[in-house]
A and B are shown apart, each in its own frame.
Chain A
Amino acid sequence: MDGAISIKGTREGLTITLGGGDTQKLYEDLSRHLKLQGAFFRGGVVALDVGKRSLDAQRLCSFRDLLAQHTMTLRTVVTADPTTLNVADEMGLRAIGAEVLDEPEPQPQPPAPAKPKPVAPPPLAPSPSMSRVESIARDDSRGLIVKRRVRAGQIVRHPGSVVVIGDVNVGAEIIAGGDVIVWGRLRGTVHAGYPDDSCAMVCALDLAPLQLRLGKHIARPEEAASERGTIYPEVGRVRDGAIIVERWSGIHWGN
């Protein structure tokens, strides 16, 4: 088959990775390939790794429809492009960001088995009954930087840590396997340490989420710093089995 497309079987299903080159050509290659070997993949659940390319809804739909023609279901899109991440999310697909942080921070947890791409779809809601949860074990080797405002209805899911450069509006959701850092106002719902890592933390310049979840703990912060009149960065952590939100004191300015 063509070198630009790779199809791999994993525990969760198939991962189709689009390599470099023209998207339309890759689409045609995939179409040809499935015509020849489609029967082999019948009924499969697919994670499509599109790399850094930016795909609009129409293009992503064309891939979904192509797979559907061969009775395969597109469930997950892995992408390093924020627009594509949004598009996939809007289409009701599981969207996984795949941007690499330059410097992964050290963590006390044993590192998760090294995977080239996080292909396992993270479940939508924390549910202990879902056995797949283990397969997205925390993977701090990969972080996701989101350089935009996250608006209502938009969900950022990522198995590692998430850094948002911008505000997280009411109605938006951040779900991260690791820590969540918001360089801006955090107003939406945030879940760090998803699904059950209570060592994770959430920091924001103005920490006022609707709901703050750390691992298995849930808190509803009553009062934002901005409502108290002065705005200062805060950090939320689990201490003695409860979520504590404190003023960020990593650096002292002398007060």
Chain B
Amino acid sequence: MTQTRVITVTSGKGGVGKTTTTANLGVALGKLGYRVVVIDTDIGLRNLDVLMGLQNRIIYDMVDLVEGRCRLQQALIRDRHIEELYLLPAAQSRDKSAVSPADMVRICDQLQGDCDFVLIDSPAGIELGFRNAIAAAQEFILVATPDPSSVQDVDRVLGILESQGRSQYSLIINRVRPDLVRRKLMASPAQMLDTLAIPLLGIVPEAEDVIISNGKGIPVAHDEHSLIGRAFSNTAQRLLGESVPFIPLLHGRKSLWSRLDPRRFLRSN
């Protein structure tokens, strides 16, 4: 029986890319052959199913499970492309109070041993939905954009996690614009780490690929040739404890990022 790692993806602020990160990390880990369950805890505003292109396969959701209308195996939806990737969808009706932190612990206990990773997508905020999302996790991935309000919100979430004695966390810096960072119009990853003082798990540049793939319902991590796909697969490998160098985006004049199509750059390697 494997030890299942239960990891919550959270940020405080909304719109920074929690759901995109969860979906892509799920895909990246799935592609590496790990058994992964992703859980959407945003009851009432479910999104993870849309990003994964699974919304038309939902029969039962988390509220059905919690209220005993189905078994866990019935609520889990298998991904269209990856054999061992499953989604436990949130309910679209109802609200956060339909699920309690104890319910989350129960669900994750049931999954313990049956998969390698449980990735929990947290709703924005620090209210009940957030408390549900963190209840069962031992590890936390904080997602921040270089926006000061996003950094401050992650700082706030870290304070809450620390006060509960939870200390296993790392940071994904999302939607970085290297051109703006170079012109000092956007906080650099180094500046963000200076404030937050937690381990860095990944840096994901802003790119159209994400918007396009989210629209299609096929997470960008499927495309290993894309820069973003590689950023997510590197992040997944760091999550596995491997030491993967960060893609050089910020090497001053030598950076190819601003001049060349990143795809061409990567293929030429």
Q: Do A and B come from one complex?
A: yes
Q: Interface residues, chain A, CB within 8 Å of chain B?
A: 56-57, 83, 86-87, 89-90, 148-149, 151-154, 167, 169-171, 187
Cβ-closest chain A residue relative to B148: A170
Question: Out of B155, B162, B163, B164, which one reaches A169, CB within 8 Å?
Answer: B155
Q: A149-B197, A169-B195 are in contact. Are A57 and B156 (CB under 8 A)?
A: no
In whole Å, how far is A154's beta carbon from the nearest beta carbon of chain B?
5
Docked CA distance A90–B127 (Å): 12
* Interface hub of A86, A149, A152, A171 (most chain B Cβ within 10 A): A152
Question: Out of A83, A152, A154, A187, which one reaches B153, CB within 8 Å?
Answer: A152
Q: Interface residues, chain B, CB within 8 Å of chain A?
A: 148, 152-153, 155-156, 158-160, 162-165, 195, 197
Question: Out of A56, A57, A86, A170, which one reaches B159, CB within 8 Å?
Answer: A86
CB pairs A–B below 8 angstroms (19 shown): A57-B163, A83-B162, A86-B163, A87-B163, A87-B164, A89-B163, A90-B160, A148-B162, A151-B155, A152-B156, A152-B159, A153-B155, A153-B160, A154-B159, A167-B197, A169-B155, A170-B155, A171-B152, A171-B155
In whole Å, how far is B156's beta carbon from the nearest beta carbon of chain A?
4
Q: 6 more A-B contacts (CB under 8 A) besides A151-B156, A152-B156, A170-B148?
A: A86-B162, A90-B160, A149-B197, A151-B159, A152-B155, A167-B195
Task: Report yes or no: A151 in contact with B165, Cβ–Cβ below 8 A.
Answer: no
Cβ-closest chain A residue relative to B154: A152
Docked CA distance A149–B163 (Å): 12
Cβ-closest chain A residue relative to B159: A151
DSSP majority for the A interface? Answer: loop
Q: A86-B159, A169-B195 are in contact. Are A152 and B164 (CB under 8 A)?
A: no
Docked CA distance A57–B161 (Å): 11
Residues on A with beta carbons closer than 8 Å to the beta carbon of B195: 167, 169-170, 187
Listed from nearest, the 6 A-B pairs whose CB atoms lie closest are A86-B163, A151-B159, A152-B155, A153-B156, A152-B156, A151-B155
In whole Å, how far is B125's beta carbon from the nearest beta carbon of chain A?
13
Count of A-B contacts judged by CB separation below 8 Å: 46
In whole Å, how far is B98's beta carbon from the nearest beta carbon of chain A?
22
Cβ-closest chain B residue relative to A187: B195
Residues on B with beta carbons closer than 8 Å to the beta carbon of A148: 162
In whole Å, how far is A180's beta carbon from the nearest beta carbon of chain B?
19
* Interface hub of A56, A149, A151 (most chain B Cβ within 10 A): A151
Cβ-closest chain B residue relative to A153: B156
In whole Å, how far is A27's beta carbon from the nearest beta carbon of chain B?
19
Docked CA distance A87–B159 (Å): 10
In whole Å, how far is A83's beta carbon from the nearest beta carbon of chain B?
7
Residues on B with beta carbons closer than 8 Å to the beta carbon of A57: 163-164
Task: Report yes or no: B165 in contact with A56, Cβ–Cβ below 8 A.
Answer: yes
Task: Report yes or no: B162 in contact with A151, Cβ–Cβ below 8 A.
Answer: yes
Residues on A with beta carbons closer than 8 Å to the beta carbon of B152: 152, 169-171
Docked CA distance A154–B160 (Å): 9
Residues on B with beta carbons closer than 8 Å to the beta carbon of A151: 155-156, 158-159, 162
Residues on B with beta carbons closer than 8 Å to the beta carbon of A89: 163
Task: Report yes or no: A171 in contact with B156, Cβ–Cβ below 8 A.
Answer: yes
In whole Å, how far is A231's beta carbon from the nearest beta carbon of chain B?
12
Docked CA distance A153–B163 (Å): 12
Docked CA distance A187–B191 (Å): 14
